[in-house]
């Protein structure tokens, strides 16, 4: 261990105070009324990086939510490592299900509860504190470091690709460590080797020009809710295989090795079901639940609304109904092609008497896959092995981080997951939390990783 560990140990209380400060900022990127809060979070991150000793700290415009950049480039002949994370967070609804207000961080034992605690503020702050520890205790970093922290990850990083292209030389690097990531468990490391892509649409079904009395008109006129239900049900078969024409055209089949790698990761179906409180899993036949969640595409309704929403009943035939859908994509699916396929499907299957409109939310992330034999993968696996006393599992994530594919395309550098969230931390859901033990482990791990990558 370097002298940085002493620094980290001595500054634990301050680190927690910093984390709590950071979590108080309601930086919800999806909601326009929180745009200023995302800027506040960006400024907070930039100031914390400067305080840590990083240089050229800047909040940079993107056309949407900003990016925070910083670097330290004085390690001659050493590689240049980029650290990536995001300071925006998911919306908080249903807010009445939170036990503590989502932006009033609450510490209970080893846990800090707040929106964004695990995804990704805790994981983003850990490497900043690692950089401070090394710069303060040793006066230098063992490698060149660039930080790229963004504020639009939770809405699919719509402007990040353009930003990275416009600043390709500023951002040039040899490898990227992704702090928006997690480990298999508190005792078992893992390296995430793949991410699913993402695209999204909204479907609006419009019927009569006014809400109608369901007694006067019911039976004669198409009900937009029923029409939407009909359209949506036609999109998947009874075990969840997507029936949208062309949906699977570009999906690379899982190889026997892919399936062995996935199966090698221990997983208990009953525990998984018990944790979720469901009595059965469900999905596309011919694949294990793990394969379905990690390596198969989905078409998921994220929200649906139409007609009367209050208490009791209202005998209305509503004039409109709508839903939001996102698809998780795998190599080599293309989000824009999938959105076109959904649009064509909706137009072809729209029931009579209503009009259906598909609005694209764009293709937020390409699917992404890291080759297992990449040298930086082997190096980081060694760090994890030293920290945990075990070889990491090589896992996948069903989630989407569009930046990985963008950075590979533009900078030619692979992004390797290196974060310390744990799977039960309710990211994207009420009562999200992060473990303080993971927070401290992450600080140590980043110091070790930068030392090892220098060799």
Site residues for its own copies, 199-228, by CB under 8 A, read 200, 207-223, 225-226
57 scored as a contact of its own copies (CB under 8 A): no
Q: How near is the Cβ of 47 to its own copies at its closest, in Å?
A: 28
Site residues for its own copies, 239-278, by CB under 8 A, read 240, 276-278
Cα–Cα distance for residue pair 319/141, rounded to 1 Å: 62
Strands (E), 77-172: 80-86, 106-108, 111-113, 144-150
400 scored as a contact of its own copies (CB under 8 A): yes
65 scored as a contact of its own copies (CB under 8 A): no
Nearest to 155 by CA among 377, 296, 324: 324
Nearest to 417 by CA among 389, 450, 394, 386: 394
According to CB under 8 A, which one of 374, 423, 441, 452 is a site residue for its own copies? 423
34 scored as a contact of its own copies (CB under 8 A): no
Nearest to 342 by CA among 286, 400, 301: 301
According to CB under 8 A, which one of 3, 315, 347, 372 is a site residue for its own copies? 315
Binding mask 320-349 for its own copies (x = CB under 8 A): -x-xx-x-x---------------------
According to CB under 8 A, which one of 43, 188, 431, 452 is a site residue for its own copies? 431
159 scored as a contact of its own copies (CB under 8 A): no
Nearest to 177 by CA among 153, 150, 148, 213: 148
Cα–Cα distance for residue pair 59/45, rounded to 1 Å: 9
For its own copies, the closer of residues 47 and 97 by Cβ is 97
According to CB under 8 A, which one of 187, 310, 371, 455 is a site residue for its own copies? 310
Strands lying side by side in the sheet with 175-178: 55-60, 67-72, 144-150, 80-86, 175-178, 415-417
Cα–Cα distance for residue pair 403/396, rounded to 1 Å: 16
282 scored as a contact of its own copies (CB under 8 A): yes
Burial profile 23-48: b = 16 or more Cβ within 10 angstroms, e = fewer:
bbbbbbbeeeebeebbbbbbebbbeb
Cα–Cα distance for residue pair 25/32, rounded to 1 Å: 15
Angle between helix 122-138 and helix 436-454 axes, rounded to 10 deg: 50
Cα–Cα distance for residue pair 59/67, rounded to 1 Å: 6
Site residues for its own copies, 113-152, by CB under 8 A, read none
Window of 15-23, 142-150, 247-255, 315-323 that interacts with its own copies by CB under 8 A: 315-323
Q: How near is the Cβ of 434 to its own copies at its closest, in Å?
A: 15
233 scored as a contact of its own copies (CB under 8 A): yes
Q: How near is the Cβ of 203 to its own copies at its closest, in Å?
A: 12
Decide: helix, strand or coil at residue 339. Answer: helix
Site residues for its own copies, 366-385, by CB under 8 A, read none
296 scored as a contact of its own copies (CB under 8 A): yes
For its own copies, the closer of residues 121 and 328 by Cβ is 328
For its own copies, the closer of residues 2 and 240 by Cβ is 240
According to CB under 8 A, which one of 190, 317, 341, 407 is a site residue for its own copies? 317
């Amino acid at each position: 261990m370097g002298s940085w560990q002493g620094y980290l140990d001595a500054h634990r209380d301050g680190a927690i105070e910093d984390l709590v400060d950071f979590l108080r900022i309601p930086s919800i990127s999806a909601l326009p009324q929180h745009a200023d809060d995302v800027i506040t979070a960006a400024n907070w991150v930039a100031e914390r990086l400067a305080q840590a000793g990083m240089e050229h700290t800047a909040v940079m415009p993107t056309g949407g939510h900003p990016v925070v950049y910083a670097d330290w480039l004085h390690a001659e002949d050493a590689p240049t490592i980029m650290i990536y994370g995001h300071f925006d967070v998911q919306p908080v609804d249903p807010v009445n299900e939170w036990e503590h207000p989502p932006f009033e961080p609450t510490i209970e034992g080893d846990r800090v509860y707040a929106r964004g605690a695990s995804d990704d503020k805790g994981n983003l702050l850990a490497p900043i504190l690692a950089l401070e520890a090394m710069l303060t205790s040793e006066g230098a970093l063992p490698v060149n470091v660039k930080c790229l922290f963004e504020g639009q990850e939770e809405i699919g990083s719509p402007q990040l690709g353009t930003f990275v292209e416009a600043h390709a030389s500023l951002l040039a690097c040899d490898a990227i460590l992704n702090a928006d990531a997690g480990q298999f468990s508190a005792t078992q490391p893992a390296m995430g080797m793949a991410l699913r892509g993402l695209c999204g649409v909204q479907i609006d079904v419009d019927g009569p020009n006014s809400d109608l009395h369901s007694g006067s008109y019911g039976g004669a006129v198409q009900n937009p809710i029923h029409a939407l239900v009909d359209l949506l049900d036609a999109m998947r078969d009874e075990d969840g295989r997507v029936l949208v024409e062309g949906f699977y055209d570009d999906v690379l089949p899982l190889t026997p090795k892919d399936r062995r790698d996935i199966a090698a990761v221990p997983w208990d179906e009953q525990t998984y079901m018990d944790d979720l409180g469901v009595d059965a899993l469900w999905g596309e036949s011919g694949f294990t639940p793990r394969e379905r969640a990690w390596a198969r595409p989905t078409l998921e309704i994220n929200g649906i609304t139409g007609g009367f929403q209050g208490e009791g009943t209202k005998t209305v035939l509503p004039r409109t109904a709508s839903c939001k859908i996102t698809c998780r994509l795998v190599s080599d699916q293309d989000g824009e092609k999938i959105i076109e396929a959904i649009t064509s499907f909706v137009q072809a299957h729209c029931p009579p008497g209503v009009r259906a409109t598909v609005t694209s939310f764009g293709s937020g992330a390409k699917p992404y896959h890291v080759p297992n034999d990449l040298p930086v993968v082997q190096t980081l696996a060694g760090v994890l092995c030293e920290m945990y006393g075990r070889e990491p599992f090589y896992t996948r994530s069903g989630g989407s981080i569009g930046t990985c594919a963008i950075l590979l395309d533009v900078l030619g550098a692979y992004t390797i997951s290196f974060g310390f969230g744990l799977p039960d931390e309710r990211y994207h859901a009420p009562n999200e939390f992060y473990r303080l033990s993971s927070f401290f482990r992450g600080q140590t791990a980043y110091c070790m990783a930068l030392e090892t990558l220098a060799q």
